[in-house]
Amino acid sequence: MNDEPGSTGGPAHRSWWDRLGHMFSGEPRNREELVEELRAAQANGLLSNDTLTMVEGALKVTELSVDDVMVPRAQIVMISAESPLTDILAAVVESGHSRFPVHGEDKDEILGILLAKDLLKYFGDGEHFDIRAILRPAVLIPESMRLNVLLAEFRLSRNHMALVVDEYGGVAGLITIEDVLEQIVGDIDDEHDDEEEPTLMHAQPGGDWLVSALTPIADFNEQTGSSYSDEEFDTIGGMVTSEFGHLPEVGEEIVVGEYLFHVTEADDRRVQQFRVSQKPAQD
């Protein structure tokens, strides 16, 4: 008879104890709880807002497929293989893109991908231009492919663009590595994108706000319905720092008027972000 305790220490026994310990540990048990823990860490200053956005984006990528984020067929800038060089150059300049699908008789007949830089050697020498000679192979993928799988393929193949085909083999859309990365890190602007004003205030579930210290007081008042004066300070950061009387660190908080300002991001020179909530009710 074997008196070794190993008979109760097998995988099933350890799994039961693991589950029991997990039940009382307070650790996240699914993706939703994990995201809530990460958001709580961000609110307490353990993660920056940018880091939280990237982690949430990386989790989201595993749930999305190509057809969720692709550029639809109607918006693709395609080039006909029969187009003269002057028309091709005009399309390249007008669009500002660097890669273009090239088609044959119709837009479902993809011959390859044209890189704008490959046209440079034909400036002043259009007589010898042959677009088919400089095309790169086109990558064709199904609409149902997961974004994380596509990203891995982009990395391995070093391709930056893929044509999305439907169940009948027709072109349904186009997707680039930038489209995938933007799901993780947010919008990636280049010199051809219209510059937009950054969003300084982000509403949070439960009525709180994540507020950049650079938010003008007038804008804060407009968003929240408050009535802070902007005669002495222009920004929320200046006003709240003055109330502290010193440069606050992450985790410090103070009540100003009807709101509680909790410092979530700061460095050794200035406060960068607050979590703003209604002032707790007095007992």
Work out whether the CA dihedral 159, 95, 79, 110 comes out positive or negative.
positive
CA distances from 217 to 43, 76, 89, 212, 274 (A): 22, 42, 48, 11, 13
- Rounded to 10 degrees, the C-alpha dihedral 54/151/97/172 comes to -110
pLDDT above 80 (res 157)? yes
Are 256 and 248 within 8 A, CB to CB?
no
pLDDT tens, position by position, 10-68: 444 445 445 444 444 556 667 777 777 777 877 777 777 777 777 777 777 778 889 88
Q: What is the pLDDT of residue 174?
A: 93
**Is the Cβ–Cβ distance between 271 and 238 less than 8 Å?**
no
Q: What is the pLDDT of residues 226-275, one digit of tens each?
A: 999 988 888 999 999 999 988 899 999 999 999 999 999 987 778 899 99
pLDDT at 211: 94
How far, in Å, CA of 249 to CA of 271, rounded? 8
HEC string for the chain = CCCCHHHHCCHHHHHHHHHHHHHHHCCCCCHHHHHHHHHHHHHCCCCCHHHHHHHHHHHHHCCCEHHHHCEEHHHCCCEECCCCHHHHHHHHHHHCCCEEEEECCCCCCEEEEEEHHHHHHHCCCHHHCCHHHHCECCCEEECCCEHHHHHHHHHHHCCCEEEEECCCCCEEEEEEHHHHHHHHHCCCCCCCCCCCCCCCEEECCCCCEEEECCCEHHHHHHHHCCCCCCCCCCEHHHHHHHHHCCCCCCCCEEEECCEEEEEEEECCCCEEEEEEEECCCCC
pLDDT at 187: 65
**pLDDT-derived band of residue 190, with 50, 70 and 90 as boundaries?**
low
Q: pLDDT averaged over the chain?
A: 82
In tens, the pLDDT along 97-114 reads 889 999 999 999 999 999
Amino acid 262: pLDDT: 95
Asked whether the predicted pLDDT for residue 80 surpasses 90, the reply is yes
pLDDT in tens, 197-226: 578 999 888 889 999 999 999 999 999 999
Residue 62 confidence (pLDDT): 79
**Dihedral (CA of 113, 118, 123, 125) sign:** negative
Among 27, 1, 50, 43, which Cα is nearest to 184's? Answer: 50
Q: Is the pLDDT of residue 7 over 70?
A: no
Give pLDDT, residue 75. 87
Q: Could you tell me the CA-to-CA distances from 93 to 75, 117, 216 in Å, in that order?
A: 17, 12, 38
Give the pLDDT score at 27. Answer: 65
Residue 197 has a pLDDT of 59
